[in-house]
Structure formats: C-alpha cells, structure tokens
Structure 1
Amino acid sequence: MRKIFTILILLIFISCEKHISSNEFVQLGIKNLKCEYAANPINIDISNPRFSWVLSSKIRGQKQTAYQIFVSKNKDLSDLIWDSGKINNSLSNQIYYAGKNLESNTNYYWKVHVWDKDDILYESKITGFGTALLKQNNWVAKWIGVGQKSQPSLPNGFLKSVEEQSTLTDTIIHEGRSLLLRNKFECKKNIKSAKVFVTGLGYYELYLNGNRVGDHVLSPAKTNYAKEILYDTYDVTTQLKKGENTFGIHLGNGWYNPYKKWWKEYRMQWFGAKKAILQLQITYQNGETTVIKSDKNWKFKLGPILYNCIYDGEFYDATQESENWSKPDFDDSNWDMVSVIESPKGELRSQNMQAIKLVQIIEPVKVFKPKSGALVYDMGQNFSGWAKITVNGKKGTKLHLQFAEDINEDGSIDITSNEHAKAEATYILKGNSSETYEPRFTFYGFKYVEVTSNSDLLEIENVQGCVVHSNNELTGHFECGNETINKIHKATVWSQKSNMIGFPLDCPQRDERLGWFGDAQVTIEEAMFNFNMPLFYHNWITGIRKNQDSLTGDIPIISPR
C-alpha cells in the first residue's frame, strides 16, 4: 500500500512538472511581426518583401531551430500563395518572400510557425501587409499643374509663363505662391475599401471632404526628382462616403521649386514648377472597382501662402484663404482648369520609411521683452520644426516670427547661426476672433522665436514649439551616474532628431540642410544605437545608388542632390 501511495505521489509530481513546463512554454511568444521593417504596412512596392519577428521566452536557453512562413490573400490563410516549408535554421529577419507574384493594391495575410530547442511547434498570430503600385505602368493618373504642358530642362532655375519678346532667361523667374487643386467626384455604391496613392512637388498636403488625410508633414521627402519621386499611400475607406466627395491638394515649393537666389552648387537645384499626381482605387461592396485620378478635369487657384522657401520661411495671408475649399459643396465656378503636364522624369517609388511628422509640442519656459513691441519666447530646447501661435487682432494685422538658436546678452535674438537663411514667418490676420497659424512648407532649427507685429492691439494668446522630424522610433536608452555625460547624451539625441528630415542633414537652421556624406557617416553608429533606422538609411542609400555616375562609378558627396 505504501509503495502504491509513493507511486501516486511521484505521478502527481511528474504531472505537476509537465504542467509547469507547459505554462512556461505558453510564455514563449512570437511578437513584433514585420514586413519590410514595419508592422501591418499598406505601402509595399517591391516584389519580394522581407519578413521578421522576435521570439521571447522565460525559459533559459530557449531558441528557434526552424521556421515556416505562410502567406495568403485570405484572412484565414486559405488558398496559400506561399508556404516556405519548414526551414531548419534560427533566422528570424531578412527573410525574403519567395511565393507567387504579388499584385498591386492588394491586401495579404501571413503568419509564421517556429520550432524551439525541443522541436516544439509554436504558432504566431495572423498579421498582414498591403501593396502599393508595384509597376510604373500601374499609374493611370496624370501629373497636373499650371501652365505649359512641357518645361525647359533647366537644372537650376524657376519657371514662369513666357512673356512676349522675352528671352529664355527671362522665364526663369519664381512664382512662389502656394497652389490649391481640387476635384469633385461621386461614389455611386457602398464602399468596401479605398486606398489613395499621391504625391506633390515640392511639398503637398492632401484633403478629403474638408479634412486632412494622414499626419505627414513636409512630404514627400527630398530626392533627386529626375531619378526618383516618393509617393504616399493612405487608406481612406472611412473618409469616403457614398455620394459626392472632393479631394483637395495644397502645394508648396519645397526642394523642387526653390527661389532663384538659392540656385547654387551645394544649395538647391531647380527641377520644375509645382505639380501633383493622385490615384484613388476604390473597391465597392459588390466587388466592383473604380479609379479616381488626377487629370485635366481638376481645377486650381492660387493659395494663401504668398511665399514659401525652405531657407527663408513663409508668408501666409489669411485674408486670401478660400474657406472650405476642399469640401464638396464649395463653389469653384471661378477656379481655372489645370493643365496635364510633363512627368518630372523620376520613377515613382513608395515612401516606405517613417514619415516626417509633428512628433511633440513644447511649451516655452521663458518670455523676454528685449525691446518695445518684441517678445522673445525661449522654448528651453533647440530643435527642428516651427512655432504655432494663436492671436487675436484686426483684419490685415501683420504678425512676424523670427527664429534663432541663440540670444544676445540683452535678450534679443542672435541670428548669426542662420547665416544667409532668413528663417522667418509672416502671417496676415483675417480678423475672425482667435486664429492659429503654423508654417506648412518650411522648417527651422531654433530655440528662440521673436514675435513682432505692426499693431499694438494684437493679443498673443498662446505660443508653442512644434517638434518636427522623421518619426524614427527611439529604441535606445542611456543613463549613468555622471550628470555631465547624461546631458551630453541628451543633447546628442536631440541633435540627431533635428537632423532627420527625410534624410540625414548636416544642420536644420542655416542655408544648407544637405545630406553631406561626412556628417552622416560619423553619426550612423550613434543613430542606430538610439533609433530604429533601417528604413531611413535604406531610403538614403537607395538615393546614393541612383545618383552614382553610370560611366565612372563615382558617387556624389551629397545625397539627395
């Protein structure tokens, strides 16, 4: 009897041990499933994207010994288009898709099976990715803008309409005002899904039925536009409605259409006048599809930004706004028809890296009044971006913002480090009680902003700093017992943020802001310790490769050019 009791105790003990092991095994997880370094991306534009995941476990010595990837168009993973089979290795990143040809504008679903050190199978959750436009001939939309259908090839100039008896050089005059484009269209059926592929040169903002689409700013990121142009992909399923809809695009100059004063080597090149391209692909509930595209049926009007320049800043006249201009019921009878214009030549490529975004709002820590009529706001931190200001005043009142990295002993701003860049913003009030202004198509590197006005009656209600940079995830952390070293590290991280504006900059404040190789290469190691950088650097190096001299193999010392 005692022997039987002992055996029962041993069986219970063994059973408990297996149960604990099983519970521990449940802690084994497959997480951070990504396609092309992103979770659930919708903008993949390559035929063999890469998969990755992270294995986590509380079991000491646990590891992956094999994996198997499944990909399908169906959420339940029926009718597979790729089954990798069981692959006996520990690789969990940089695994290239090797199934049937992917299709443009299509949603895919995938999961992975992992075998651990004891050859026990573990299954991930199902995740997904979506494709953008995989081939250039998938684009049926046209480039639209204002003026001539074709433009002279002028590597360092601006274009304005040719006047009679003018010379070619007379045409190289800047028309720097922003441009509004709009198009009304109808969705006749209930919508199942919709994605829009869009870009505007130099910078653009997209609106649908009066609301901004996405939260990107300063988009698209700078490239050599003669070689490649980045476009964005947005899911607008919930923003579309059955019936009338309207797209609006607001265009700024950006790096594409710079002012003549900056046509210099190692500054800016001229590529052409402002233009945009948009393609909306809709799938209805009944399975039918339709395409809405930019074409000759769009309309345009000059925008309220009278002047916009990367280096010099922005002049915004709110009295010239067209209220509700991107809503369906807006009267556009006095707007003009756009022109379908020549392609900028560069290949359209999906902007897969993290977008440039407004990532943080900073409140000023001090306010100085160094002279009559001027207020200087100390943001407490040097950063890239701009200021947002809310004011109350009469129509026509002029508000001026001057950005700087330093101040003088008397509290006035010191613009020395801006060098030749004006780094300013001007706003003309429309006079409708409180109104808020922030620049759209420029950025600054600053810690201080000086606010002045031509009216003593202007009431300043609020001033904030808008931190803007490529939204690369902060993944590293450092802290030690030496406060000086901690401050150096903090300053380094902030400096890195301020110099990630779609590509690695040398500076965000003066008349340069270029992708110098020397500056970028000495910071790469630091950047990768602190931020998730694969997509950012992949985009930059792709640009370098595209700018390589086809005859000599030489690469430029700046990219993008």
Structure 2
Amino acid sequence: MTTPRCADLRVEYLTEPIGIGAAHPRFSWTVDHASAGRELEVADASGRLWHHVVSTGASAAPVEYAGPPLRSNAAYRWRVRSLTADGPTPWAEATFTTALLHESDWSASWVRPVQQPALVERWSIVDWIRGAGPEASLEDRLRPVQLLRQSFRVSPGLVRARLHATAHGSYSAWANGERVGDEVLAPGFDSYEHRVSVQVYDVTAQLRAGENVLGVALADGWWAGRIGLTGSSAQFGDTTEAIWQLHLDYANGRSEIVVSGADVRSAIGSWVYAELFIGEKVDRRCEPPGWRVAGFDDSAWTPVEIAGADAGTLVPFSGEPIRRVGELPAISVRETADGAIVDFGQVIAGRVRLRVRDTVPGQEITIEHTETLDAAGDWFDNIAGINKEQTDVLVAAGGDEEWEPEFTFHGFRYARVRGLIDVLVPADIAAVVISSDLDQTGGFTCSDARLTRLHDNVVWSQRANFLSIPTDCPQRERAGWTGDAQVFAAAASNNARVLPFLGRWLDNVRADQRDDGRVTITSPYSPFDAEAAAAAEGIGSIVAAAGWSDAIAFVPWTLYERYGDTRVLRDNYDAVLRWIDYQRLQARAELPNGLVAEELSPERLAAQRLLFNTGTHFGDWLTPSTMEGRPLHEAIGIAPSLTGELVAPMFQAQTLTLAARMAEVLGRGEESGALAVEAAQVRGAFAAEYVDESGRLSVELQGPYVIALAFGMIPGDRVDAAVAELVRLIHERGDRLDTGFLSVPYLLDVLWDAGHRDLARTLLWQDAAPSWLYEVDRGATTIWESWDAIGPDGGVRAVSLNHYAFGCVDDWLYRRVAGIQPAAPGFRSVAIAPDLASGLAHARAHVGTPAGRLAVEWWLDADGATVTVTVPYGVDAVLEVDGGTIPLPAETSTHILQLDRAVVRA
C-alpha cells in the first residue's frame, strides 16, 4: 500500500516558478487520498513566515498567501501536507522566487541604441481590401536588429544571480555567450502603454568570477513592427530600447546589482531586418565574431542613449512564456522549377530550421511559408495583405550552416526553399512549433477517425493562437480579438491549463478599457487602433461591440467555472460593472435608427431605454448564408447589419446575469440582487420589442434564435415555438448550420436541451459545407476561418486556415460525447453522462481538474455499454444512467450498463 501524499505542488499554477509577481500568490496541489484538512507553511532563509491550517473540510481550490509581505527578488520554500483520519501525511515541499514587486525596486535606466526610427506606415482596412501597399523594397523600409553589450565583473563566492529584463521591442539575451532562458519573442505582446512584462532568468550557472558579458539583440517586435490586419508599423513606438537589472548574491551575504546604463554599447549585427509578420533577413557575413563573450573589443561600438529611468509600466511577467514546444520533420520534399516545396503535414505557428551545406559566401537562400497548396498542388499564398510576406532570407557566410529565424514566426504547413545549390534533403529541414508553453491537460479520441481529427485540429489551432495572447490567426492579424477568446474559452480550458494565460490577457483587457467603460474589441489595443477607429466608418470604426466586449464577463466566469478560483472574479468584477454602466448610458441616450422617427408609447419608450441596441456591432459575425456568393468585402457587413440590433441586448442581459452571479460569489448580495433584477428587466424589454406572440424573432436566421434560447430571452410560453422556428431554419438549410461567431458555441446545446438530440447529432456529423467534418474531409489540420476555405473541387480561397473560434464545438465532444460535465465550479462536482447514442462505438477523454486528472472511457458491444471512470480525490462524481445516477468512488471504477440497470465491476 502506497503512502498517501500531496503532489503536483504549484504556485500561481506553475511548478517551482522563478519571478512570481503576485503579492498574495496562490498555492495548489493534488492528493491521492481522502483528506479532511490541510497544513501549509511558507518560509524563507530566516525561517517560517506563514502557517496555514484548516482542520476540517477539503478543497482543491487554491490557497492564497496571507502572511507577511513577500520581498522582491527573494527565494522561498513551502510545504504542505494533508490531515487525514490516520494522521498527517508526509510533507511535500517546493520552492518559488519573487520578481521585483515594486516600482521602487528599479534603479536601472532604459537604454536606447542610436538608431534610425522605424518608418511609420499607416494603412487602413480600405487599403487592405483594395490591395494597396508599400512600393519601396523591404531593405529600404525595414530596420536592422540592434546589438547591446555590457561588461561587468563578478566577485568570487557567487551563489545566486537573477536577471530581470524587458524591452520596448522583442529581445534575446546571452550571458557569456550562452543563451539566457529558453523562451522566444520576449517580452511578449502587452498593452505597452500601460504594462510591459518583465522576465526573470536564473543565470547563476552562466556567470563566473571575473569579467562577464551580457549581450542583448533587440528587434522591433510588436512594439515598432508591422502588426495587425493592416500591417501598420510603429503602433506603440518607433524606437526600441531595453532595461535590465542583474542581482548578484554572494555566500558572505553581500549583494550587488548590475543595471543597464551608460556603460552599455551598441552596434548593428547580422540581422538586415527582422519583422514579426514579414520575416527576417540575416547576413551571416556581418556577425561580429565573439561579441557575446569577454575579450571582445567593443571600442568601435556606439554608446547608448539613456532613455529615462521610468519603471511605472513594468510588471512581472505572469503565466507561461512563448517557447519552442515541438518540432515536425518534413514528410515530403518536392523539387520544382521555383524551388523545393516542403510539406510538414500540419498547419502550425512557428518557423523553419534549415541546415545547408557547402554554401558560398553571399549565397542567398529564401524560405516562404503558406498554409495550403492550390488544387493542382502548386504553390499558393493563402494569406493576402499588406506586409504579410512570411518570407525569411539567409545570406550565407560560406560552408555548412544551420539557421532558425529569431524574431519572427509564421502560420504555415508548407515551405518553399529557394537558392540552394544542392537538392534539399528532408533531414536538413524541420518546422519548429512555437506557442505559449501551456500544460496540455486534456485529450479526446473516439472510434471515428474524423471526429478524433476534428479534436486534434482544435488543439493545433489553440496551440498556434495561444501565443503570448489569444489571437485570431497566426499569420494575417495575430490580434487579441475579445470575441474569439470569449467563444472559445470553455473549449480551451479542457485542452490546457489556461487560467494563467487568459488571466494575463485579461490584465491587458482591463488596461485597455476606455475611460467611459468600453471594452475594446481587441487587446492589446494600440494608440494606432484608437486613431484608426476614430477616422473610419462602419465596421472599421468599432471600438467596443456586443459579444466581443462582453468577454470581460464571459471569460472570467468560464475560468471560475472550470477552476473554482475566485481571484479571477475579483480581478475583473469592477471592469464588468464599468462595461455595464456604458451599456446603460447608451440604452438611455439612444434609440435604434428605425425608431428615431416613430412616436413611441410611454411603455415602449421606457422599455427601449433599458436596451443596449444601438451603435455598430459585428453581430453574429460570418453567418454562412450571408457570405455565400459575395465578395468578402461586401459580405462581411451583412450579418452585422441584420443581427447587431438583436445580439447587443441579448449579450447585455447575459452579462448582467453573469455579473449577478459574480457578485453573489464575492459576497456582494445586495449588488447581486439588483443586477439580477436588471437582467430580468432587459429580458422583458427585449421580448416585448423583438419576440412576437408566436415566438418568432424579427430576423429569420439561426443565430439569433440560438442566442435568444441560450440566454433565456424568450418568454417561457413561447420557447417551444421559438425552438420549432430554429429547427425549421436548420431543416431549410439541409440540416446544416447557419450560425456565426457568437451563436455557434450554443447551437448544439440549445437543440439538445430542447429535446432535439438527434438533430444536434446530425449537425455534428454533417459533412456538407458548412460543417466541421466538411473541413476534416478536405484535409484540414486546423480550424478554418471560413467553412468553405477549400471548395468541393479543391479550389482554395485566400483566407486563414487557422482560426480557433468555430472549434468551440470541442467542448461538446468532452461534455456530451465523452460525457464529462462539470456540475460545480472547479469540478468540485461532476456528472459523467456519455452520449451512448452518438453513433460512436468508443470514446475516451480526460481533463485536468484542480483536484487532478479526471478521465472517462466508454465502449459499446452487443451486450450494452462499459464505462470506466477515473475520479480524483476531492471531486464528487456520479454516473448518469437511465432512471438515476450511480455515485462514483475516487480512483478508477468500471460500470457495465445493460438496458435499464447498472452493475459496478471492480
């Protein structure tokens, strides 16, 4: 018999993290035994700081530190044990260190290399539609990467060294020629006006007594580079700069700080240019040999400018950094007259690592990237737009070389390599997958290969687009669209531990919230974004929108439901109320255009003053029937025009409901009651204005019906009629979905809960466009932006093949098909209710709950169904069967279901 123990010890959801920035970090762990309580201690070198004991009750929710204030740049250890009926378990121990927690901890200066400012390029959505763009060459428009070098001395007896660093731009660092850390594209994407994340690195092993060198390469990154749909540059600034502090601790108790300052020198190295979207060009002949190590003569380098000592926007990085998370070999290499086309078999976000042999000095090798080939298998650029070249260039120094770009990434499955002298050998090329390095906690497989592939496609889209922030696509825009994250958060939480990642993004969303309460449609939101919206009309003018801005309520609530952590509610609750205030003000101040000229009754006017139903919104974006047979620039405005007025008050009502639930959880009972009352009033006003006596809405599209039913907008006596209308609309489309961004997440559940389970299954299994399996049948390896991105004849459209939003169906696979249904926040309670009539013979899934791994596997045979469930300790679980439920024990149990009875098999 094994000894009971605590395991998987985490601080802020990370294992033994370096550089925690939370003043009150959260501690979490799992147990493999029944626990009645817990005991936790936190200590530093001087002894115990905090002792926490709960002798009754057990919970997997994280425990917040409540001891004396933590010190900056300090090391801590902590331990935890369970209190059981047989006595306490053995202690389980772990460590963590803190970041620089206060602005006053900074004594370094921002250092700015002498540089030509970035060329400020301003493009609009209209320019993008018309195909306009720059005429000058890349070399004339783009800038080289700046090299920074600082020499410093280390005394004997060094026991600990921590480097705290960040930049306006993207940076990589080396200590004595050895790479610092394993992350890429630091510091990541933030709303830099308000916050710039600081990384912390342990460099103890890289330093030595005597002279040492810190080298930094500094590129434009998201700060000054060409980003977003329009590819406009310098959206946050036009010059790059960096700041760092190196804290040295010695065995005798002495400490030193090495800071960025006037002793830093700069030069231009081998990067001719480096752009996140366009790509980078490296001339290996220009690399200053040995610049990263001691002994290099930097007397010809230029002193940096001191850009100030302001640390007001610096915040410790939270969550997981961007890393190389995988590598894909070439599955085929085909030589063509225009170069070697390489297929890596999977659409990813990343770049190519290439090994070349026997090059001659000055030989220029280019690598282009695309997500698909055309119907004939020829090269096809599926991403069109300004500054979207996705091309990297290596100018060889001569001989054998290996190269992977440093300051760019691309969305691709295929690469075309030009400029080689010899035939490309598959072993000499690989695709490097980059992503924020989230723990992958879930999985789904089943007896149908297509459905398994659908799930895999969702995971790959999530991996590609959870890159520093939750983006819409990894090639054309890479923007933090709030609507995309809102609809996908639940599905994402099954596949990975997303709370730290989405929590950091929500920090940016709150930072970007406008003074009047508007929550921006993208975050990070740059000064250029605000300027562009102010100058535009129609969709381009949108700053806040229904379903997008409501992410400020929907995402935190989803995270609370899946993790049971109340901090995410506390952090965002006030921002939710500010967004609600904006909706209220707009409702009172404006009427929809169609009612402005009407003389409204006092009752109708009062109802209208409750409804947030004015302004420009995206509506049920990309509703399929509104896109068919029309040019993209014409089609994208139809669904917003048709559905925006209905969608806005529906999301208003649901946000009020979520705010009421948040308030209740946070102990604000009076506020909760008032918000709930207001939500009911909005629903009543909506029904009076938009739902007729036969349950019909004013817009005959599937999406508004789905949202209305999901959010309780239809009066109870008219729900059945509204469901019937939805079913009719689905049948009229040939049993195909016609739902857009905001309604797709709710489509199958609305049908299921209304008793139309077979129709929900039909939509899941549908293989005619638009449908999920249509994409799979056409070889999709990710989720597409457009359902018909590749036509039945193989014809390819110039659209993104990597958007996760419609992958929200993955949550259905976990909850309905596999049957893992959370019934209380943080999976404290769960129902296992597999869909044994799904058309599958077998399904298997697992998720990572706060208490540990929860898994279910079921399969059918001639005698019935066999269901095996693994339940972690701390989770109350039942297996739902016809006629009742079976309580499930912790650990693994197997159940044979025969007709109307269930038998437990050990």
Name the residue aligned to 1:368: 334
Aligned-pair identity (%): 29
1:102-141 alignment runs, 5 A limit? 102-116=70-84, 118=85, 120-141=87-108
**Deviation larger for 494-503 or 517-526:** 517-526
Distance of 1:87 and 1:339 partners within structure 2: 58
Deviations 1:141-200 (A, max 9, x none): 11101249xx99x9979xxxxxxxxxxxxxxx9662100000111112221111110112
**Amino acid of the residue matched to residue 252 of structure 2?**
N
* Aligned counterpart in structure 1 of residue 20 of structure 2, from 32, 44, 51: 44
Contact residue 113 and residue 148 of structure 2 kept, 8 A? no
Contact residue 12 and residue 26 of structure 2 kept, 8 A? yes
Residues 68, 219 of structure 1: alpha-carbon distance in 2 compared, 3 angstrom cutoff: same
**Deviation larger for 395-404 or 269-278:** 269-278
Per the TM alignment, residue 346 of structure 1 is displaced from its structure 2 partner at its CA by 5.7
Name the residue aligned to 2:175: 208
Distance of 2:493 and 2:385 partners within structure 1: 30
Name the residue aligned to 1:32: 8
Name the residue aligned to 1:92: 60
**Amino acid of the residue matched to residue 290 of structure 1?**
E
Per the TM alignment, residue 126 of structure 1 is displaced from its structure 2 partner at its CA by 2.1
CA RMSD of aligned residues (A): 2.5
Residues 87, 541 of structure 1: alpha-carbon distance in 2 compared, 3 angstrom cutoff: farther
1:403-418 alignment runs, 5 A limit? 403-418=369-384
Secondary structure (helix, strand or coil) at the match of 1:333 reads coil
Residues 380, 346 of structure 1: alpha-carbon distance in 2 compared, 3 angstrom cutoff: farther
Name the residue aligned to 1:71: 42
Contact residue 114 and residue 302 of structure 2 kept, 8 A? no
Name the residue aligned to 2:495: 530
**Amino acid of the residue matched to residue 490 of structure 2?**
E
Contact residue 371 and residue 413 of structure 2 kept, 8 A? yes
Per the TM alignment, residue 477 of structure 1 is displaced from its structure 2 partner at its CA by 1.2
**Amino acid of the residue matched to residue 42 of structure 2?**
V
Distance of 2:222 and 2:312 partners within structure 1: 14
**Amino acid of the residue matched to residue 504 of structure 2?**
N
Contact residue 255 and residue 310 of structure 1 kept, 8 A? yes
Deviations 1:490-534 (A, max 9, x none): 111111111111011100122x11010111122111111011111
Name the residue aligned to 1:383: 348
Distance of 2:21 and 2:474 partners within structure 1: 30
Secondary structure (helix, strand or coil) at the match of 2:383 reads helix
User: Does 2:451 match 1:480?
Assistant: no
Per the TM alignment, residue 210 of structure 1 is displaced from its structure 2 partner at its CA by 0.7
Distance of 1:495 and 1:263 partners within structure 2: 19
Secondary structure (helix, strand or coil) at the match of 2:460 reads helix
Contact residue 256 and residue 271 of structure 1 kept, 8 A? yes
Could you state the TM-score of these two structures normalised by the residue count of structure 1?
Answer: 0.85
Residues 425, 82 of structure 1: alpha-carbon distance in 2 compared, 3 angstrom cutoff: same
Please state which structure has a larger fraction of its residues in strand: 1
Contact residue 226 and residue 271 of structure 1 kept, 8 A? no
Name the residue aligned to 2:163: 196
Name the residue aligned to 1:464: 430
Per the TM alignment, residue 462 of structure 1 is displaced from its structure 2 partner at its CA by 1.1
Residues 479, 281 of structure 1: alpha-carbon distance in 2 compared, 3 angstrom cutoff: same
User: Which runs of 5 or more residues in structure 1 are unaligned?
Assistant: 1-23, 158-172
Deviations 1:245-270 (A, max 9, x none): 000000111110124x9795998723
1:141-156 alignment runs, 5 A limit? 141-147=108-114
Distance of 2:172 and 2:18 partners within structure 1: 19
Name the residue aligned to 2:636: none
Per the TM alignment, residue 287 of structure 1 is displaced from its structure 2 partner at its CA by 1.1
Contact residue 262 and residue 268 of structure 1 kept, 8 A? no
Name the residue aligned to 1:82: 50
Distance of 2:228 and 2:518 partners within structure 1: 25
Contact residue 229 and residue 346 of structure 1 kept, 8 A? no
Contact residue 113 and residue 121 of structure 1 kept, 8 A? yes
Name the residue aligned to 2:366: 400
Distance of 1:557 and 1:108 partners within structure 2: 40
Secondary structure (helix, strand or coil) at the match of 2:505 reads helix
Contact residue 195 and residue 237 of structure 1 kept, 8 A? yes
Per the TM alignment, residue 89 of structure 1 is displaced from its structure 2 partner at its CA by 2.9
Secondary structure (helix, strand or coil) at the match of 1:341 reads strand
Secondary structure (helix, strand or coil) at the match of 1:45 reads coil
Equivalent pairs counted in the alignment come to 505
Secondary structure (helix, strand or coil) at the match of 1:416 reads coil
Residues 209, 238 of structure 1: alpha-carbon distance in 2 compared, 3 angstrom cutoff: same
**Amino acid of the residue matched to residue 494 of structure 2?**
F
Secondary structure (helix, strand or coil) at the match of 1:407 reads coil
Contact residue 404 and residue 418 of structure 1 kept, 8 A? no
Contact residue 166 and residue 197 of structure 2 kept, 8 A? yes
Distance of 2:428 and 2:121 partners within structure 1: 42
Distance of 2:452 and 2:382 partners within structure 1: 28
Secondary structure (helix, strand or coil) at the match of 1:478 reads strand
Residues 496, 475 of structure 1: alpha-carbon distance in 2 compared, 3 angstrom cutoff: same
Residues 111, 262 of structure 1: alpha-carbon distance in 2 compared, 3 angstrom cutoff: closer
Distance of 2:431 and 2:524 partners within structure 1: 28
Secondary structure (helix, strand or coil) at the match of 1:91 reads coil
* Aligned counterpart in structure 1 of residue 485 of structure 2, from 520, 525, 528: 520
Residues 237, 88 of structure 1: alpha-carbon distance in 2 compared, 3 angstrom cutoff: same
Distance of 1:318 and 1:238 partners within structure 2: 29
Distance of 2:453 and 2:294 partners within structure 1: 52
Distance of 2:445 and 2:185 partners within structure 1: 33
Secondary structure (helix, strand or coil) at the match of 1:325 reads coil
Residues 215, 43 of structure 1: alpha-carbon distance in 2 compared, 3 angstrom cutoff: same
User: Does 2:147 match 1:183?
Assistant: no
Per the TM alignment, residue 416 of structure 1 is displaced from its structure 2 partner at its CA by 2.3
Please state which structure has a larger fraction of its residues in helix: 2
**Amino acid of the residue matched to residue 520 of structure 1?**
A
Distance of 2:194 and 2:244 partners within structure 1: 19
Per the TM alignment, residue 482 of structure 1 is displaced from its structure 2 partner at its CA by 1.0
Residues 370, 411 of structure 1: alpha-carbon distance in 2 compared, 3 angstrom cutoff: farther
Distance of 1:366 and 1:145 partners within structure 2: 45
Secondary structure (helix, strand or coil) at the match of 1:406 reads coil
User: Which runs of 5 or more residues in structure 2 are unaligned?
Assistant: 124-139, 526-906
Deviations 1:308-327 (A, max 9, x none): 21221111111111122110
Deviations 1:45-94 (A, max 9, x none): 1211111111113xxxx2x22222211113xxx73211124453313332
Contact residue 333 and residue 424 of structure 2 kept, 8 A? no
Distance of 2:39 and 2:3 partners within structure 1: 20
Could you state the TM-score of these two structures normalised by the residue count of structure 2?
Answer: 0.54
Deviations 1:124-147 (A, max 9, x none): 222111111010110111110124
1:103-502 alignment runs, 5 A limit? 103-116=71-84, 118=85, 120-147=87-114, 176-259=143-226, 269-342=235-308, 347-371=313-337, 373-392=338-357, 393-420=359-386, 421-431=388-398, 433-453=399-419, 456=421, 462-502=428-468
**Amino acid of the residue matched to residue 130 of structure 1?**
T
**Deviation larger for 416-425 or 275-284:** 416-425
Distance of 2:285 and 2:298 partners within structure 1: 18
Contact residue 121 and residue 232 of structure 2 kept, 8 A? no
Residues 440, 344 of structure 1: alpha-carbon distance in 2 compared, 3 angstrom cutoff: farther
Distance of 1:155 and 1:82 partners within structure 2: 54
Distance of 2:234 and 2:31 partners within structure 1: 46
